[in-house]
Amino acid sequence: MTKYIVEGGKPLFGEVTISGAKNAAVAIIPAALLVDGVCRIENIPNISDVEMLLNILDDLGAKVRFLTPTSVEIDSRATRSTQVSQELAHKIRASYYLIGALLGRFGEAEVSLPGGCNFGGVRPIDQHVKGFAAMGADVQEGDFIVARARDGRLRGASIYLDVVSVGATMNIMMAAALADGNTTIENAAKEPHIVDLANFLNSMGADIKGAGTDTIRVRGVERLNGGTYAIIPDQIEAGTYMAAVAATGGQVLIRNIIPKHMDCITAKLQEMGVCVIEEDDNLLVRRDGPLQRTNIKTLPYPGFPTDMQPQVTTVLTLAQGTSIVTEGVWDNRYRYVGELCRMGAQVRVEGRAAVIEGVDALHAANVQAYDLRAGAAMVIAALAAEGTSEITNVHYIERGYENFVGKLRALGADIRCAEVTEETAERQIG
């Protein structure tokens, strides 16, 4: 087990290059199972969620080969199984995409219920199941999801999502790509990774229109052929570095972003007194004055992303005045607040709102990462706090941030990895 040791209180300066988007990669890799040929996926982030998904594809019989550290070739023609090993599936939340991909290609899938980030609340997949059922699948839910197309192949259907769900939109889109007939997804999610998955599938021969709007139309095709596709840059990774500069002060050029994807985050940081300048596919972020209070509500795209909520709440702990952050996507995503308070933050959670009284400074403490984004928030808090902080459970962070420690060190941060001693590990488990 690894922990991070952070000597905080230093502003960040320099340049950081953003990797491929995690939440696009974790859908596009399973989607490669739909392809009856070879697909080459570029700009793959080097994170543990990707590694786990590639292991699952390999276990199912697909041939997986890295061409460069960021490009992988997947040949799904040799896939021989539609049963995903429980041990592998449990490690990653996004294993639910294997249901849509396997069901779409082979008419059956057996995948154990997903693991991955747990915010302490329920993460239902009823909308995914509703979509598959509408397309003619029998779906049994237990420890495993067992789904079978009644006629051997799914058929197109009209599906209205009761909640705007990223996962259900992508899963249904995958299942529909090879279905017999046309599928319409109404009240679809519009995140950049939805558009990226549609672009990937279309570049392999699918016929998907409307991704990025409320209504997605999929005309099922007989076969996907293969090809080459590059994943978009990670909006949330970029936003996390923006938040880090906002918290510590300094000036950082964030390279390889899509400016449009960053608008919702940029607008809020500007309200907080952070200077953000857009230059082609780069953003220059500078903070040299005091941080101002603001209110934020997380919403589906193009609203402010829930996956930036812990990081931006951390920045607001250092802003002058009272800020309110309202979580509009998940029921419960504030477990990390207790850890922030141990660093001197003044935050109280009232239902879906966090009320933040800005303080002049945070102080160092030993804290733990409760999940991926909460972990990133702990690192940001530790970078801003004077003194030495230790962060444990960093495997959560490594699920979704490529080379987080290395990229921060290149910006002048004093952060390093160390092994967790048995004593600390025991304390944590206890």
Give the active site residues.
117
Nearer to ligand EPU, 219 or 352 (CB): 352
* 265 CA to centre of own chain: 15
Handedness of CA 165, 103, 225, 85 (dihedral sign): positive
Q: Which residue is nearest to ligand EPU (CB)?
A: 167
Least distance CB 184 / ligand EPU (angstroms):
18
Which positions lie near ligand EPU, rule CB under 6 A? 23, 26, 93-94, 117, 123-128, 163, 165-168, 189, 306-307, 329-330, 372-373, 400
In the chain, the amino acid numbered 348 is R
Return the H-helix or E-strand segment holding 224: strand 224-230
Tokens of 375: 């972990």
Nearer to ligand EPU, 125 or 195 (CB): 125
C-beta atoms surrounding 108 within 10 Å? 17
Angle formed by the axes of helices 192-203 and 22-31, to 10°? 30
- Facing residues of 284 across strands? 253, 277
Which of these, 336, 347, 430, 354, lies nearest to 391 by C-alpha position? 336
Nearer to ligand EPU, 168 or 185 (CB): 168
Which of these, 236, 240, 176, 238, lies nearest to 207 by C-alpha position? 176
Least distance CB 171 / ligand EPU (angstroms):
8
Least distance CB 258 / ligand EPU (angstroms):
17
Nearer to ligand EPU, 165 or 366 (CB): 165
Least distance CB 55 / ligand EPU (angstroms):
17
Nearer to ligand EPU, 49 or 75 (CB): 49
Nearer to ligand EPU, 128 or 148 (CB): 128
Nearer to ligand EPU, 250 or 400 (CB): 400
Least distance CB 60 / ligand EPU (angstroms):
19
Q: Give yes or no for a contact between 92 and 115, defined as CB atoms under 8 angstroms apart.
A: yes
C-beta atoms surrounding 347 within 10 Å? 21
Nearer to ligand EPU, 21 or 206 (CB): 21
Strand ranges inside 264-398, DSSP E: 275-279, 282-287, 295-297, 322-326, 346-350, 353-357, 366-368, 387-392
Least distance CB 298 / ligand EPU (angstroms):
9
Q: Give yes or no for a contact between 10 and 181, defined as CB atoms under 8 angstroms apart.
A: no
Using DSSP, state whether 22 is helix, strand or coil: helix
d(CA 52, CA 221): 29
For residue 144, what are the CA distances in angstroms to 86, 99, 139, 246?
Answer: 8, 11, 10, 43
Least distance CB 302 / ligand EPU (angstroms):
12
Least distance CB 301 / ligand EPU (angstroms):
8
How would you class 292 by CB atoms within 10 Å of its CB: exposed for 0-12, middle for 13-18, buried for 19 or more?
A: middle
Which of these, 105, 94, 19, lies nearest to 54 by C-alpha position? 94
**No. of helices (H) and no. of strands (E), the chain:** 15, 23
